[in-house]
Chain A
Amino acid sequence: MKRQNVRTLALIMCTFTYLLVGAAVFDALESEEETAERRRLEAKSQELKNKYNLSAESYRELEWVVLKLKPHKAGVQWKFAGSFYFAITVITTIGYGHAAPSTDGGKVFCMVYALLGIPLTLVMFQSLGERINTFVRYLLHRIKKCLGMRRAEVSMANMVTIGFFSCISTLCIGAAAFSYYEHWSFFHAYYYCFITLTTIGFGDYVALQKDEALQNKPQYVAFSFVYILTGLTVIGAFLNLVVLRFMTMNAEDEKRDAEHRALLTRNGQASNVHPADVSSAAPAAPGGGGGGGGGFRNVYAEVLHFQSMCSCLWYKSREKLQYSIPMIIPRDLSTSDTCVEQSHSSPGRCPETPSNRCFCNARRSAISSVSTGLHSLAAFQSLTKRRSSV
């Protein structure tokens, strides 16, 4: 089966299994506590009902009033500060729900607002995240140079470590701040920051809901907004570094397949192919022409062919060099700049951390074998191994 289909099926299976496992664990963790709490609350409410001689009907009425007043308890939600807070929760898809549009007009506008705002925000965070990553990479490169380290390239592992630590510290800083301002425990504040910055946004803990903070404490309000947006950027940068490549995997494989197919068809059309004679094999054009457009088209064909095999060459060379970096998708830009410069300054030497591109010149033998194999479909078909990750 095609690789993309296998990968997609595997991911679906994984997700379903993950959901099942999660459900089971949450059940185990929360179910008992839930039953106990429910019983407790029932008992208490029964007490109150008895004390005040409330009928079920009137109790329901009271319940309704209390629940409806809940958002209002937290302060005015829809003045400008509150609306800004709400707008943030919409376009970042956090969606606490502490305030939700009650008017139909508000609901309609909310939907339209989200429709445009969410993609815009996604693109913005990824854009800014990439800039941050590039900047961090550059800084790290300089630091490594300054420290006089032999290899000043910034590897993926470096970047991932830094990204991970920035995420953790962002969470901790937020946890410290919110536990102070909102009088939550550090753990609960950390949980709040986590749920917010992953955009899950349950709404069980929501900042700016105590003591009319939205109206009375503008600095705290500003801090919260800045924190949420900056925190999302940091997380976005980390995602950009680690996850984004996986989201384009199927599309890349699809393109490679298409190129292969095209090459195969074109090679199939070529009648005079001399596998051993590289120099004269160039004009494998349909018309057998040497120069001009047809010949050039064949150069492209060869390069495409080579390129498609290149990724596996890259992995071959990687395997031989035994890199342990887990990220082996050749689309990481982390070292593109430094690696290219490196490769330029030291001709023929393969940099320690190869750029994620097809580092096909790693071995001359590989190249010559590939170039002789270029015109041999058999050789091509044997190199159908692709990236080894999912």
Chain B
Amino acid sequence: MKRQNLRTAALILCIFSYLLVGAAVFDALESEAESGRKRLLEQKRGELRRKYRFSADDYRELERLVLQAEPHRAGRQWKFAGSFYFAITVITTIGYGHAAPGTDAGKVFCMFYAILGIPLTLVMFQSLGERMNTVVRLLLKKIKKCLGMRTTNVSMENMVLVGFLSCMGTLCIGAAAFSYFEGWTFFHAYYYCFITLTTIGFGDFVALQKNEALQKKPPYVAFSFMYILVGLTVIGAFLNLVVLRFLTMNSEDERRDAEERASLRRARNNIHLKPKEDSRSSNAIFLPVEDRTSQMNLIPLIQDAERQRRQSANSAAAVPSFCTCLCYRPQLCGSPVPSHPETLSCHTNPVYYNSISYKIDEVSLSTRGQTGSSPGSTLSSNSPRCRHHPRLRRKSI
């Protein structure tokens, strides 16, 4: 089966099992407490009803009243500060629900607001997150240089570690702050920050709901907003570093397959392109190794070198282009440098390459072999195997 389909099916199965396991564990953890609590509360309710001699109707009315009044208990929710808070929870998809539009017009506007705001916010956080990662990478490199370390390249592990620690740091700072201001325990505040920054947003703990904070404590309000937005950026940066590449995997494989099919077709038709002939292939950029005939058109240069390479390419497996590690075939690359060829033929996932430190920004190509980045080393170590397993792709999912 096609790799993408296999991957997708595996992911679906994973998710279902994950849900089943989660459900079972939550059941085990919470069910008993729930029934115990329910019993106690119903007892208490019975007591209170008897004590005050509520009629059934009146009690229902009371219930309705109390539930409806719940958001009001926390203060004015829809003045500007509260609305801003609400707008944040909408476009970041946190969605506490501590305040939800009551009017139908509010609901309609909320939907339109979300349609435009959510993609904007997603793109903004990823954009800012990528910038942050770049700055961190730069800083880390400078630090490594200052410390006089031998290899000043910033590996993926370094970046992931720094990212993970920043996330933890963000959560802890928030937990400390909110436990102080809201009077929660540190653990509950940490839980609140976690649920907020993962945008789950249950609403069981919501900041700015005590003592009319929204109206009366503007610095605290400003801090909360900034914290949420900055925290989401930090998490976004970490996601950009670690998860984003996986989101584009199927697309890349699809593209690679398409290129593969096209080049196979071309090879089968055995087109002898002359140097100056118009190349029909837009793959030229992407398949320099396997299909250099088209590359020749663009760069009608080193004909003898090309011929030489074409021969070796034809003799080798015809379709190494799908292999991410293709580029490491030593006789072609002529150097241990993974970066260029990779970028050329595997010009696919910029996040993937960008997040690996071996940027092509230095002429020190020869030192590139020491890039400690895991994908890089994984790939380069694949090079001998590449010839035998041309379909081997990146080791991750």
Whether A18 is near chain B, meaning CB under 8 Å from some CB there, is yes
For window 248-283 of chain A, which residues contact chain B by CB distance below 8 Å? 248-252, 254-255, 257-259, 261-262, 265-266, 269, 278-279, 281-283
Asked if A23 and B111 sit within 8 Å, CB to CB, the answer is no
Stretch of A47-55, A143-151, A153-161 contacting B (4+ beta carbons < 8 Å): A47-55
CA distance A131 to B2 in the complex (A): 11
Q: Which residues of B contact A121 (CB under 8 A)?
A: 15
In the complex, what's the smallest C-beta–C-beta distance from B71 to chain A, in angstroms? Answer: 8
CA distance A115 to B198 in the complex (A): 8
Q: Which residues of A contact B332 (CB under 8 A)?
A: 296
Q: Which residues of A contact B359 (CB under 8 A)?
A: 254-255, 258
Contact with A along B111-146 (1 / 0, CB 8 A): 101111111111110111011001000000000000
Q: Which residues of A contact B56 (CB under 8 A)?
A: none
CA distance A117 to B326 in the complex (A): 33
Asked if B100 and A202 sit within 8 Å, CB to CB, the answer is yes
Which B residue sits closest to A294, measured CB to CB? B334
CA distance A188 to B103 in the complex (A): 11
Whether B25 is near chain A, meaning CB under 8 Å from some CB there, is yes
Whether A126 is near chain B, meaning CB under 8 Å from some CB there, is yes
Among the interface residues A19, A25, A247, A259, which one has the most CB atoms of the partner chain B within 10 A?
A: A247
Contact with B along A1-41 (1 / 0, CB 8 A): 00011011001101100111011111101110111011001
Asked if B19 and A87 sit within 8 Å, CB to CB, the answer is yes
Which A residue sits closest to B62, measured CB to CB? A48
In the complex, what's the smallest C-beta–C-beta distance from A127 to chain B, in angstroms? Answer: 5
Whether B178 is near chain A, meaning CB under 8 Å from some CB there, is no
Cβ-defined partner of A341 (8 Å) among B7, B194, B265, B362 = B265
Cβ-defined partner of B259 (8 Å) among A8, A195, A340 = A340
Which A residue sits closest to B339, measured CB to CB? A262
Asked if A355 and B48 sit within 8 Å, CB to CB, the answer is no
Which bucket holds chain B's interface residue count? Answer: 35 or more
Whether A120 is near chain B, meaning CB under 8 Å from some CB there, is yes
Q: Which residues of B contact A248 (CB under 8 A)?
A: 126, 244, 248, 349-351
Which B residue sits closest to A339, measured CB to CB? B282
Asked if A97 and B246 sit within 8 Å, CB to CB, the answer is no
Whether B223 is near chain A, meaning CB under 8 Å from some CB there, is no
In the complex, what's the smallest C-beta–C-beta distance from B109 to chain A, in angstroms? Answer: 6
A296-B333 CB under 8 A given contacts A121-B15, A259-B343, A291-B305: yes
Q: Which residues of B contact A343 (CB under 8 A)?
A: 262, 280-282
Q: Which residues of B contact A14 (CB under 8 A)?
A: 120, 124
Asked if B78 and A72 sit within 8 Å, CB to CB, the answer is no
Asked if B18 and A67 sit within 8 Å, CB to CB, the answer is no
Q: Which residues of A contact B219 (CB under 8 A)?
A: none
Asked if A31 and B335 sit within 8 Å, CB to CB, the answer is no
Asked if B302 and A299 sit within 8 Å, CB to CB, the answer is yes
Q: Which residues of A contact B97 (CB under 8 A)?
A: 96-97, 201-204
Among the interface residues A19, A105, A367, which one has the most CB atoms of the partner chain B within 10 A?
A: A19
Stretch of B80-88, B148-156, B317-325 contacting A (4+ beta carbons < 8 Å): B80-88
Cβ-defined partner of B109 (8 Å) among A26, A105, A337 = A26
Cβ-defined partner of B107 (8 Å) among A116, A191, A302 = A191
Q: Which residues of A contact B279 (CB under 8 A)?
A: 361, 367
CA distance A45 to B295 in the complex (A): 80
Contact with B along A58-97 (1 / 0, CB 8 A): 1001110111111010001111101110111111011111
Q: Which residues of A contact B391 (CB under 8 A)?
A: none
Which A residue sits closest to B104, measured CB to CB? A187
Stretch of A238-246, A320-328, A379-387 contacting B (4+ beta carbons < 8 Å): A238-246
Q: Which residues of A contact B242 (CB under 8 A)?
A: 119
CA distance A341 to B259 in the complex (A): 10
Asked if B22 and A262 sit within 8 Å, CB to CB, the answer is no
Cβ-defined partner of A88 (8 Å) among B19, B121, B244 = B19
Asked if A8 and B131 sit within 8 Å, CB to CB, the answer is yes
In the complex, what's the smallest C-beta–C-beta distance from B8 to chain A, in angstroms? Answer: 5
Q: Which residues of A contact B34 (CB under 8 A)?
A: 72, 76-78, 102
Whether B77 is near chain A, meaning CB under 8 Å from some CB there, is yes
For window 284-338 of chain A, which residues contact chain B by CB distance below 8 Å? 290-304, 306-307, 310, 331, 333, 336-337
Q: Which residues of B contact A251 (CB under 8 A)?
A: 130, 240, 244, 350-351, 354-355
Which B residue sits closest to A368, measured CB to CB? B276
Asked if B344 and A24 sit within 8 Å, CB to CB, the answer is no
CA distance A129 to B305 in the complex (A): 43
Q: Which residues of A contact B300 (CB under 8 A)?
A: 278-279, 371
Cβ-defined partner of B297 (8 Å) among A122, A269, A367 = A367
Q: Which residues of B contact A292 (CB under 8 A)?
A: 305, 334
Whether B328 is near chain A, meaning CB under 8 Å from some CB there, is no
Asked if B204 and A100 sit within 8 Å, CB to CB, the answer is yes
Whether A377 is near chain B, meaning CB under 8 Å from some CB there, is no
| Subset of 23 A-B contacts with CB under 8 Å | A22-B84, A22-B91, A22-B117, A30-B83, A31-B83, A37-B68, A65-B44, A83-B27, A86-B23, A114-B194, A202-B100, A202-B203, A203-B202, A248-B350, A261-B361, A265-B363, A297-B365, A303-B288, A303-B295, A333-B254, A355-B282, A359-B282, A360-B285
